[in-house]
Each structure stands twice: as structure tokens, then as C-alpha cells.
């Protein structure tokens, strides 16, 4: 499950890896009203996250790492939602990972500076769908899940390769006529 944290809108996306690629099983957003005080908004978001975890039972939760925000107020609310998602997942015994937006863009679109539309296009292609959710936060959450699944597959391949003993090889030490040519001093 990918989570794009935000206190007003928290995007989520459930993606599984199949023999043929990736498949999204759910995506959407959780919202809280700006008119409710902060502690109540956090409590609502926590309850909604617990319900999501119970409904979908993800084995891994991937949360966007708060890396940089121009607006301090936005950074605070994203940080609060991120911390809440991390803590709620951990409290439910779910493995948690984080990726920065640039890491996700690089993994999904092949470019760490890709635009939102480029990422969305690649998410659609990787999932094999023509129609993505309308909410950008849900698309970002799907991208987070895809990023994790791709990196987990790579990590698995690396572990597998390292676990296998190297196959002995013999290198040919025969000299060829070309190897024996004296080129002389060409300085």
C-alpha cells in the first residue's frame, strides 16, 4: 500500500505484482475538514488508516518521505500525516518503507525530475490501465507502491545472486599470434 501523506487529503493505492506486471486493486483518498481542530483531524485520520489496513491487510506500507516543502504550514501538516501513517502501520505490525518524491519519479518514470503528468502516464502504463483515479494524491500513492515493488524485486534478485556460490570459470590463457606481435617502442 502506497500512502501519499496529507492532513486534508491522504492518498492511498494498493498494488500487487503479478507474473505480467503490476495490478492496482484499490486507490483513493482519505480527507479531513479544515474546520475541525487538529487533534480531531488526526484522530479521524488515524481511525480511517486503521480501517484501511484492516480492509486491505497490506504486507507493506510505503509512505512518501517528507523531503522538502516550500510552505512551512504545508510541511507541518504533511509531516503530521506522514508520522501518523508510519506509526499506525507500525502499531498494526505492518512493514514500513519510505521514498522521497525524486526516488519515486526515478523508479516509475526513469527521471527524478519527471513532472506529475509524466509520472501519471507511466503509472497508467505500468498498471495497464487507461483510466487512473482523478485525485493526484491517489496516483502518487500508486506510484509509491510501484516504486517499492520494483525496488523489492531488484533487492530480491541481488540477494538471490549473492546467495548462489559463484560458478567456477576458467579463462583461456592461450596466446594468439596477435598477442605475440612486438609493437616496439612507439613513443
Residues forming the active site: 4, 64, 137
What is the SS3 assignment for the chain?
CEEECCCCEEEEEEEEEECCEEEEEEEEEEECCCCCCHHHHHHHHHHHHHHHHHHHCCCEEEEECCCCCCCHHHHHHHHHHHHHHHHHHHHCCCEEEEECHHHHHHHHHCCCCCCHHHHHHHHHHHHCCCCCCCCHHHHHHHHHHHHHHHHHHHHHHHHHHHHCCCCCCCCCCCCCCHHHCCCCCCC
Pull the grid cell for residue 88. Answer: 499506525
Pull the grid cell for residue 97. Answer: 518503507
β-sheet bridge partners, residue 26: 14
Amino acid at each position: 500500500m502506497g500512502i501519499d501523506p496529507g492532513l486534508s487529503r491522504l492518498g492511498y493505492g494498493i498494488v500487487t505484482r503479478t507474473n505480467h506486471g503490476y495490478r492496482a486493486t484499490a486507490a483513493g483518498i482519505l480527507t479531513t475538514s479544515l474546520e475541525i481542530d487538529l487533534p480531531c483531524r488526526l484522530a479521524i485520520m488515524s481511525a480511517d488508516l486503521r480501517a484501511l489496513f484492516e480492509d486491505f491487510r497490506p504486507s507493506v506500507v510505503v509512505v512518501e518521505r517528507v523531503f522538502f516543502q516550500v510552505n512551512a504550514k504545508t510541511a507541518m501538516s504533511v509531516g503530521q500525516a506522514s508520522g501518523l501513517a508510519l506509526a499506525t502501520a507500525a502499531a498494526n505490525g505492518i512493514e514500513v518503507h519510505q521514498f522521497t518524491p525524486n526516488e519515486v519519479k526515478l523508479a516509475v518514470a526513469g527521471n527524478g525530475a519527471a513532472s506529475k503528468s509524466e509520472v501519471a502516464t507511466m503509472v497508467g502504463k505500468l498498471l495497464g490501465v487507461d483510466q487512473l483515479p482523478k485525485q493526484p494524491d491517489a496516483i502518487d500513492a500508486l506510484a509509491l507502491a510501484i516504486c517499492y515493488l520494483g525496488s523489492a524485486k531488484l533487492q530480491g534478485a541481488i540477494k538471490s545472486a549473492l546467495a548462489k556460490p559463484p560458478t567456477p570459470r576458467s579463462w583461456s590463457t592461450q596466446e594468439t599470434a596477435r598477442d605475440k606481435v612486438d609493437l616496439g617502442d612507439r613513443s
